[in-house]
Structure formats: C-alpha cells, structure tokens
Structure 1
Amino acid sequence: MILCFDIGGTAIKSAEAFCADDIRPGARVPTPGGDFARFAAVLRRAVSDASTAPERVAISIAGVIDPDTGRATVANIPCLTGRRLVADLTAELGLPVDLANDADCFALAEAGIGAGRGHDVVFGLILGTGVGGGLVVRGELINSAGGFAGEWGHGPVAQRIIGDQVLPAFACGCGQTGCLDAICSARGMERLHLHLTGEALDSQAIVAGWEAGAPAPSHTIGLWLELLAGPLAMVQNMLGAGIMAAGGGLSNSRPLIAALDRALRARILRRLERPLIVPAECAIEPGLVGAALLGLSRRGRALA
C-alpha cells in the first residue's frame, strides 16, 4: 500500500492506494505551516494509523523542488521552504518518499485515469488561482526530479496591444511583469476586467456575464482568449500533446473551455477536428490520485 498525501497551505488530505483502481481517500487535517516538527508529526501519525503498513509515501504539494539541490520552495507552508524535503521526510518517516508538485500530480491523474487516457503526451492545463500546468509523456512526468516544467504562466509574454486595445504589463507574484499568470488567472481576469471597465467583479460573475452575452464581460473574455490562445499554441506546437486536460476554477465553465479550445486549434500547426482542450475528468481528488500513481510507479521500479 502507498500512503498518499495532498498537502496545501490549509489542509493535509490523505489516501491509501493499493493499485490505480483502488485509491481510498482518508482523513483531512489542518496543515501546521510554521513548525516542521509538528508537520512531520502529522505525517508520522497518519503512517501509524494506516490500515496496513505502507511500503512508501507519495506526496502532492503546492510547491517546487529544485532538481539540482533538492530544496523546496513552498510559499504557503513556510516551514518547508529551504529544506531538502524528500531526504528530510524520508528520515522522519522511515519510508521511501516520492514527491511532486500539485500541477504535476494533476497531470498524472488525468493521464492515468482521466481525460488523457490513451494519449502518449498529456498536458495538465491549470486555469484557476494561477496559470500553470504539468506534462506527462508515456505515463511519466517529464520532470521526475522536480523543477519548473509546465509552468507556462510565467515569463513576460502577455500581449500588450490587441487590436486597438493597449493593456498594462501587470506585476506578477513571481517578480516579473507581463506574465500570463498575472492577467489570465482568475484574479488576473478580474484585474483585466477592472482595467477595461472600471467595474470590480469576481471571475465567476465575469464568466457568467459572458455566457449570458453581456457586452462588458464579453469584451473582457474576448481579450482573455486572445491573451491565452497565442502562447498556448506555442506550447502545443512544441509539446505535440494529444490532449490538454483543463483544471482549476475557470475550467468549471465548459463554454469557456470550449471557446479556448477553438481559439487554440485555429492557431496551431496541426489541424484537429476534435477538441484538444477538454475538461478534466478525474473524479477523486487529483492531487491524491496523482500522488498515488507516482508512488505506484516508483514502487514498481523498486520491485523490478
């Protein structure tokens, strides 16, 4: 059995994975973000409370592991930042530890049991609090040792001029200006709408207004689609993904995902008559499923 954790700034969720078709979600407990000893104690308690002794631990986490140093950067769990997290948790738990970030685990889940089944190259497309993604090739993460692969939302590439509309280069949390994350995430869409109209609406209201045909939200969403579709076409031309599975809060609008799919397919080299961007299908928590699939694959290698 693989003991799986999906760890965010608010909560630690767990599951027991016996195989890809038998993943059993378990407890949810608050994340002790400021104290590593307490954080490790929560995981040790889950190990001791497991229904059967786990063979290894697999973790999805909202952070990044530097592939050269093994050190973690986890903005919303300060006690983990700067640690060689895999090594530290292996020592604390006395078990092999597999770890990937949440976007990568989302992509693994969709490739394994979701919308990406049957495709060699699957891009997990995150459109929510952030713009990001993860890449799975033939069932394996492209960045198995950690790193920043799939983070297409960062870099100063957002268009400033679309038709007669001039847009500002919004500052991004990564320290740059002009990132897609800063203008096309849920908060970015709100920032864009406020700039265009002077009206403060949340992203759900903007999307709902667009779906209803309201002029101001329709203008905002039209520009949002233009901002995303070009850079995403470059990503697709480079990756050759068979499917892009969309997750995150904005993906809850199927008309919005369908509109982005049409805009993307009009801009890529390969002409596709079928959808390329589709809503994610993983019914269970994708972080837990992705962690489970990661741990199960590593267990298979260890037994080989």
Structure 2
Amino acid sequence: MILCADIGGSFIDFAVVTPDGRLEHRSAVATPVNDLGAFIDALVTLCTPWPGIPLHIAMAGVENPETGIVHAANIPCLSKAPLGKLLRFRSARPVLIANDADCFALAEARFGVAKGHLNVFGVILGTGVGGGYVLDGSIVAGLGGITGEWGHGPVVLPPPFMLCEPDACAVVPIFNCGCGQTGCLDTIAGARALERLHVWAGGNSGSSRDILSAWEAGDVQAVRTMSVYLSYVGAALAHVINITGSTIVPAGGGLANSGTLVDALDHAVRQRILYPTSATLVKQAILGSDAGLLGAACLT
C-alpha cells in the first residue's frame, strides 16, 4: 500500500492506494495555504492510522530534486520550505513529492489512455497550462524539476506578430504572465487566458465554457478567438512532440472536457509536426480526478 495525497490550493485529496490501483479510505480536507505548521499537521493526521507506510504526494508546485526546496505559487506557506524533509521527520515514514501534472502524465501512462506507450507527454488545459513527461514508465524531472512546463517561456514576442486569416490580419496580444515573463503560452491558452483572449478579439465577456460552446455552434467571433488559440497551442505542442518524440499526448483539465477542442488541437498539432502521421496523438485523458493520486502511487 501507498498513502497518497493530491494537494491543490483548495483541498488535500487523500487515499490509500492498493497494489492493483484501487483507491481506499479516500477523504479530503481544506489546504492550510498560509500556515506551514497547520499544513504539516493536516498531512500527519491523515497518515496517522497507517504508521510506517510511505507517503507519496502530487502537488500544484515543484520540488527541486537537488535541494528539496518546494515552490508552490498557490500555497504560500510552502515557499522555500523543505517539505519532504519536514514530513519525513514528523511522520516517521518515507515521503516522495512530484508535480501534479507529472503525476497526471504518469497515471495516464500506467493506467489510462496512454497505457502501453513508452514515450508520453501529458498536458493540462485547465485554469492554466501544465504538462509532464514520462519516458519508459518514469517521470523525467530534469533541471530544477520543471521538465514538462511547456506553458512558460515566451512564444508571443515583441514586436507583435500578425495572425493572418483569409480576409484579415490581427495583432496577437502580448500579456504579462504570472511567472514574471511576458508572452508565455499560459497567457493565452489556459481557461482564464482564453476568456481574456476572447474579449481582446472582440467577443463578449464570458466563461471559457461559453466560448467553447459558441465555437462549436459556429459563432463567428468565437471561431476567430479559437483560431488564435489553436494556432499558438498547436504550434507550441508540435514543438514538444518534435523534441520528445512522444507517441501520445493525454489531455486533461477543464478545457480538455471538450472533445471537439481536443480533436481540433490534435489536428493542429499533426499539421505542424515534422513526422507526418494519420494516428491520433492528442487524446482525452480518462482517469479524471483519480489521476493525481494514482500517479503519486507510482512514484519511485
């Protein structure tokens, strides 16, 4: 058995994962985002009934594999904290920590839509854009533990480039990113970013779900917005495929609930990669909210 916690900015999802991948004794508690002591106490309390059993954590953040220091933008109390060291001391058990997008990719590779593939790049299309890279059944952590963070690093560069359609050209906006840079893919590809992009493109203020529904119904303005979205996200993901050689891309997160969007993104990617293929690359993930816990259970 492995004790697993999937930690987000709102809740800690906890379960005991059995060797055959069943989730037992599942529970959730609020994440103490501003109190490190309370945060540690919450995890220790969840684990207390199973002394000595390893704890594996998927979290919305990253642990530097060289220093053990954690960075989690939406959990301020963990800023520069050696979380693994603290938990190992307090709970007297082995502790492993990985990014939740990495755990998502690992879970889909072991149990989900990417099962049987050795080279997997998983993408999260949610509030923001995230990703994880799995090779031969293991997460590739890389420099600083940030491998797979394809949502950051400028892709829209000054001077503004023009996106030309058959009947018109438009300047693509350069937005500030929460990582401190400008023009990152995350500034136009996440759900909140899509909503902002739609307003920039002349559409009405509304939710990403509304925009996707309008697009699927053929609304002219939504089609315009999504052409910008698919151009950039498709190009960025094509670069990832060219570099990694991944044979499948599981897509999760709220935006990926739209099968139409995932299919369109797959088409956009396959138009841009170096190796032409008729096989579907981008596919909807199938594990849903279980992915973080299952991926955490597979950490080694």
Q: TM over 0.5: same fold? A: yes
In structure 2, the partner of 1:27 is 27
Deviations 1:51-79 (A, max 9, x none): xx452100011111123322111122221
Aligned partners of 2:52 and 2:92 also within 8 Å = no
In structure 2, the partner of 1:101 is 99
Change (3 A) 1:291 1:195: same
Distance in 2 of aligned mates of 1:7 and 1:13: 6
Deviations 1:108-154 (A, max 9, x none): 11111011101011111111111120000011001179611000111
Q: Percent identity?
A: 45
Distance in 2 of aligned mates of 1:244 and 1:154: 18
Distance in 2 of aligned mates of 1:146 and 1:280: 27
> TM-score of the superposition, structure 1-length normalised?
0.92
Equivalent residue for 1:227, pick from 228, 232, 249: 232
1:9-48 paired onto structure 2 within 5 Å: 9-24=9-24, 26-48=26-48
1:66-81 paired onto structure 2 within 5 Å: 66-81=64-79
In structure 2, the partner of 1:118 is 116
SS at match of 1:197: coil
Distance in 2 of aligned mates of 1:58 and 1:34: 22
Change (3 A) 1:146 1:94: farther
Aligned partners of 1:20 and 1:293 also within 8 Å = no
Amino acid in the other structure paired with 1:69 = T
Distance in 1 of aligned mates of 2:227 and 2:14: 40
SS at match of 1:76: coil
Amino acid in the other structure paired with 1:211 = E
Amino acid in the other structure paired with 1:162 = L
Amino acid in the other structure paired with 1:63 = G
Amino acid in the other structure paired with 1:83 = A
Aligned partners of 1:23 and 1:292 also within 8 Å = no
Gaps (5+ residues) in structure 2?
none
Q: CA deviation at 1:47?
A: 1.5
Amino acid in the other structure paired with 2:60 = A
Q: CA deviation at 1:227?
A: 1.2
1:254-265 paired onto structure 2 within 5 Å: 254-265=259-270
Amino acid in the other structure paired with 1:232 = L
Distance in 1 of aligned mates of 2:140 and 2:24: 27
Change (3 A) 1:37 1:106: same
Aligned partners of 2:5 and 2:14 also within 8 Å = yes
Aligned partners of 2:4 and 2:14 also within 8 Å = yes
Amino acid in the other structure paired with 1:161 = M
> TM-score of the superposition, structure 2-length normalised?
0.94
Gaps (5+ residues) in structure 1?
299-304
Aligned partners of 1:2 and 1:54 also within 8 Å = no
Aligned partners of 1:100 and 1:146 also within 8 Å = no
Change (3 A) 1:68 1:278: same
The alignment of Structure 1 onto Structure 2 pairs a total of residues equal to 293
SS at match of 1:100: strand
Q: Is 1:211 aligned with 2:216?
A: yes
Distance in 2 of aligned mates of 1:266 and 1:25: 45
In structure 1, the partner of 2:81 is 83
SS at match of 2:249: strand
Change (3 A) 1:136 1:20: farther
1:132-171 paired onto structure 2 within 5 Å: 132-143=130-141, 147-158=145-156, 160-163=161-164, 164-171=169-176
SS at match of 1:285: helix
Deviations 1:8-37 (A, max 9, x none): 111111110121433325111111122222
Q: CA deviation at 1:246?
A: 0.2
